[in-house]
Amino acid sequence: MKKVLGLGNALVDILMLIESDKTLAKLQLPKGSMQLIDSKKMSEIDNCTSHLEKKMATGGSVANTIRGLSNLGLQTGFIGKIGHDDIGKFFKKDIERLGVKVQLQYSKQHSGCCIALISPDSERTMCTHLGAASELTPDDICIEQFQGFDIFHIEGYLVQNHELIEKAVRLAKEAGLKVSLDLASYNIVETNRDFLCYLLKNYIDYAFANEEEAIAFTEKAAEEALQEIAELCEIAIVKVGKEGSFIQKGNATFRIETPVVKAIDTTGAGDLYASGFLYGLANEMDLKRCGEIGSFVASKVVQTIGTTINPDAWEEIKDFAK
């Protein structure tokens, strides 16, 4: 069974259900977007949502995927940066308990966190204060970190640090790993389209995108976007929410349906889809089966607040994956 290494923002999610999208309007936050925020904006959000119940959970796109893979029984690793604070301790303890081989750097800054404002229709708007996570540098990456792994998974949220990402994927390739990229967010894609195109052409083997990200990257509808992305890498995956997902490798295309469930929070759905898909690849399953497992895992996470799936649901997932 292949081993998966992730590189991403080490974050702790702070999740809350808002009464209506008026809260987003008041805070001037585009619904469904991911905004990088400073301390001032974070205080504004805190004040506006002080009456709401909040839930804390380990987060970060790649960290979510790695946690999912570990729950499925895969051997995994994670590279990131945290601070010497309670949030950092929470992140490290939570990810280590799953058996993840953590390769964490430390910063004098506070650990990063992500506020997830969940609308009544389950759409989430993310506000991220990166803190220590933003201080991960190319000097923190060396080829020894990749040894013993087979797949390297990275998140689009890091692509604004071009030097870091390019060094990481180059070293991964030198170490013989396949490289997997999740495009992360449509607004990140829009501002980094040229660099993402360069990465896909030169380093990326597997590319994950949701419908909005695929459109932002190609300026085409989902199925046409899939074909264009598939021309740049080995396997392209475009997720279209409750309508399922499309997968393409070469001239072979697959349409995967998603289980019908009542979604209450879509936070982490794409990250956990990647967990299921990469689990299938690591076990050398065919692409249709990889997509089915990804879709099944995603259907479980949208039925809970946050990205922590309960143990009973994980047992269901493992039975399904077998």
Q: Does residue 124 have a pLDDT over 90?
A: no
> pLDDT value at position 55?
85
CB 69 within 8 A of CB 94: no
Band of the pLDDT at 176, cuts 50, 70, 90?
very high
Q: Which alpha helices (H) appear in the chain, and where do they start and end?
A: 22-27, 39-48, 61-71, 86-96, 162-174, 186-191, 193-202, 211-218, 222-230, 269-282, 287-301, 311-321
- Each residue's pLDDT tens digit, 38-57: 888 988 998 999 999 988 88
d(CA 249, CA 99): 32
Min mean pLDDT across 79-83, 225-229, 305-309, 311-315 is at 305-309
- Each residue's pLDDT tens digit, 181-203: 999 888 889 999 999 999 999 99
| Boundaries of every domain in the chain | 4-321
DSSP 236: E
Listed residue (252, 256, 317, 261) closest to 289, CA to CA: 256
Task: Give the architecture (CATH level 2) of 4-321.
Answer: 3-Layer(aba) Sandwich (3.40)
> pLDDT value at position 14?
87
Mean pLDDT, to the nearest integer, of 205-211? Answer: 97
Q: Does residue 267 have a pLDDT over 90?
A: no
- Write down the pTM of the prediction: 0.89
CA atoms within 13 A on the CB side of 229: 36
> pLDDT value at position 277?
98
> pLDDT value at position 249?
97
